[in-house]
Amino acid sequence: MSSILAKGTKMNKENLILISGATLFKESRGKVYWLVVKQTSESGWEFPKATVRKGESSVRAILRVLGELAGMSVKVLEETGRANASAVINNKTISQKFLYYLIVFKASAGEILGFSNYEWLDYAKVLKKLSSKRDKEMLRKARIVLKTWKKLHEKKD
How confident is the model at residue 14, as a pLDDT? 62
pTM to 2 decimal places? 0.85
- Taking only the tens place, the pLDDT of each residue in 56-81 is 999 999 999 998 877 889 999 999 99
How crowded is residue 103: how many other Cβ atoms within 10 Å of its Cβ? 27
How confident is the model at residue 155, as a pLDDT? 62
Q: What is the three-class DSSP state of 61? A: helix
- Taking only the tens place, the pLDDT of each residue in 91-122 is 888 899 999 999 999 988 777 777 889 999 99
- Residue 68 CA, chain-centre distance (Å), reads 16
Segment 138-147 shows an average pLDDT of 96
Helix or strand (DSSP H, E) at 32: strand 31-38
Does the structure show a pLDDT above 90 at 7?
no
Does the structure show a pLDDT above 50 at 36?
yes
How confident is the model at residue 81, as a pLDDT? 96
* Per-domain boundaries in the chain: 13-156
Instruction: Indicate the average pLDDT of the chain.
Output: 87
Fold observed for domain 13-156: Nucleoside Triphosphate Pyrophosphohydrolase (3.90.79)
How confident is the model at residue 52, as a pLDDT? 96
Compute the distance between CA of residue 39 and CA of residue 117 in angstroms, rounded to an integer.
7
Does the structure show a pLDDT above 80 at 147?
yes
Does the structure show a pLDDT above 50 at 5?
no
Does the structure show a pLDDT above 60 at 2?
no
- Residues 32, 102, 156, 30: what is their CA dihedral angle, to the nearest 10 degrees? 0
DSSP tag of 112:
P
